[in-house]
Amino acid sequence: FSPEKIQGDTVFQQDSILTVKEKEDVKLHCNFTTADLSPYLFWYQQYPGDSLKYILRKNKNGIDDKATGFNRFDAQLERDNTIILKIESVEVKDAAVYYCALSRT
């Protein structure tokens, strides 16, 4: 008997620090690996000393969900296992740390 070797899921955010001007559009990239054919990808926002705030969820099958108050935020799944968070017309209040996460279906 030999147990199956399960490859772990990973996410990697390319952008560590971005400096942008107000009203510019911003794209944050997150690469992921998973054996799941249709994982859920999430984006979260965090201000210093605060808990994570859910922004949105995307799925390759077109399942989307977005939290209230994030109208200028959207995400796009690319074929190369990248999810891009797009923030339109950046405002000062958008200065935060952004995290991507992956969950199997």
Q: Where are the domains of the chain?
A: 10-103
Provide the b/e sequence for 62-92 (b: ≥16 CB within 10 Å): eeeebeeebeebbbebeeebbbbbebeebee
Q: Does domain 10-103 have CATH number 3.40.720.10?
A: no
The residue written with tokens 């922004």 in the block is 55
pLDDT per residue as tens digits for the range 6-22: 467 889 987 778 889 99
Strands (E), 14-91: 26-33, 40-46, 53-59, 64-66, 73-78, 82-87
pLDDT per residue as tens digits for the range 21-56: 999 999 999 999 998 888 999 999 999 999 999 999
